[in-house]
């Protein structure tokens, strides 16, 4: 397990390299000075904004830095980076909701097209299968035939069963059948894929609400997790997506994909800090084990080491 964690940390650090260079490069440049003054703090502010941390979160971090300086907790520029790492880790540490308990454990997956939602579902099914859990997948993204075929392929690879209807079928009907099957077959986990059209479209949100009602009717209290998959390379737009979806469909967690190769990894900090919704999983590549449970300590270390 330690080797797996160490291997993922190496990939995480590599994936966050551009954000690391954007943020740490500038921090290193300004903290190499002798004095911790207003000019240094202003340049740190620009560095955080450049990493797409977002204005509210950036201003909060700078305010914490200024307060620490005023209290004499920070007296040298060299102390800034470890202080930021500690504060960022604290910002991103939000207790997860939806712990395993009920059977089946039902996960509703939502997100816009192109974020990697269906691939994430496949990788999650692989994670659960490796833990010895039986998984049932529901292809309720019926508006995109390729999504159903993609799930079918993942099902073959991970041993997960798939409930599917024809392309264009009612997504709620698929969710209904999946719940019936998951309960009847004694599955440990049911993961329901959904349509990923633009989050600004009212009909999509209404569809999500309908699916949630059906799931709860078949198994009171479900879904136990509602996870939004966002593309980490979209930066501030990812924060907007989280807020928009959460207004209509209460989220229990976020999955952030495609952080490898982007300079906008700071958006992860802003997402959690502004929404108080925990990141559940993070992805830094195409391989199955490039999706891992999110660890705030590892993330802040990879970002600021």
Three-state DSSP class for 25?
helix
Crossing angle of helices 38-50/17-31, nearest 10°? Answer: 170
d(CA 232, CA 261): 10
Q: What angle do CA 88, 90, 96 make, to 5 degrees?
A: 115
> How would you class 186 by CB atoms within 10 Å of its CB: exposed for 0-12, middle for 13-18, buried for 19 or more?
exposed
Q: What angle do CA 299, 301, 304 make, to 5 degrees?
A: 105
Domains and CATH numbers, the chain: 2-92 (1.20.120.140), 105-295 (3.40.50.300)
Structure tokens at 17: 């390299």
pLDDT given for residue 284 in this prediction? 80
HSE-CB at 176 with a 13 A cutoff on CA atoms is 10
User: Which element (helix H / strand E) includes 210?
Assistant: helix 202-218
Q: What angle do CA 108, 111, 117 make, to 5 degrees?
A: 75
Of the candidates 281, 297, 239, 301, which has an alpha carbon nearest to the alpha carbon of residue 96? 281
Give, for all 305 residues of the chain, the pLDDT tens digit.
444 555 777 777 777 777 777 777 766 666 665 567 787 788 888 888 888 888 999 999 999 999 998 898 888 878 888 898 899 999 999 987 767 778 999 999 998 888 889 999 999 999 999 999 999 999 999 888 788 999 999 999 999 999 999 988 999 999 999 999 999 999 999 999 998 764 446 788 888 889 999 999 999 999 999 999 999 888 888 888 899 889 888 999 999 988 876 777 788 899 999 999 999 998 887 778 888 889 999 888 888 77
Of the candidates 120, 115, 165, which has an alpha carbon nearest to the alpha carbon of residue 145? 165
d(CA 98, CA 100): 6
Judge contact between 262 and 233, C-beta under 8 A: yes
pLDDT given for residue 198 in this prediction? 46
pLDDT given for residue 28 in this prediction? 67
């Amino acid at each position: 397990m330690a080797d797996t964690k160490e291997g993922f940390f190496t990939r995480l650090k590599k994936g966050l390299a551009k954000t690391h260079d954007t943020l740490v490069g500038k921090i290193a440049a300004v903290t190499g000075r002798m004095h911790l003054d207003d000019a240094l703090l202003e340049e740190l502010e620009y560095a955080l904004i450049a990493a797409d941390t977002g204005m509210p979160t950036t201003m909060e971090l700078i305010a914490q830095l200024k307060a620490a300086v005023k209290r004499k907790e920070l007296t040298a520029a060299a102390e800034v980076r470890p202080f930021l790492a500690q504060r960022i880790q604290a910002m991103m540490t939000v207790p997860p909701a939806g712990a395993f308990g009920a059977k089946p454990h039902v996960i509703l997956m939502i997100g816009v097209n192109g974020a990697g939602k269906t691939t994430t579902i496949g990788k999650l099914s692989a994670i659960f299968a490796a833990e010895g859990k039986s998984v049932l997948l529901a292809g309720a993204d019926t508006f995109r035939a390729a999504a159903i075929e993609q799930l079918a392929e993942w099902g073959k690879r991970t041993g997960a069963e798939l409930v599917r209807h024809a392309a264009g079928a009612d997504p709620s009907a698929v969710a209904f059948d999946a719940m019936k099957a998951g309960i009847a077959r004694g599955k440990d986990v049911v993961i329901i894929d959904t349509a990923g059209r633009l989050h600004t479209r009212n009909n999509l949100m209404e569809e999500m609400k309908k699916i949630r009602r059906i799931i709860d009717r078949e198994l009171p209290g479900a879904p136990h997790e509602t996870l939004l998959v966002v593309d980490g390379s979209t930066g501030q737009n990812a924060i907007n997506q989280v807020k928009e979806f959460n207004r209509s469909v209460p989220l229990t967690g976020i999955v952030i994909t495609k952080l490898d190769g982007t300079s906008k990894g700071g958006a992860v900090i802003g997402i959690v800090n502004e929404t108080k919704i925990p990141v559940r999983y993070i992805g830094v590549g195409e391989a199955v084990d490039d999706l891992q449970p999110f660890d705030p300590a590892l993330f802040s270390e990879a970002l600021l080491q």
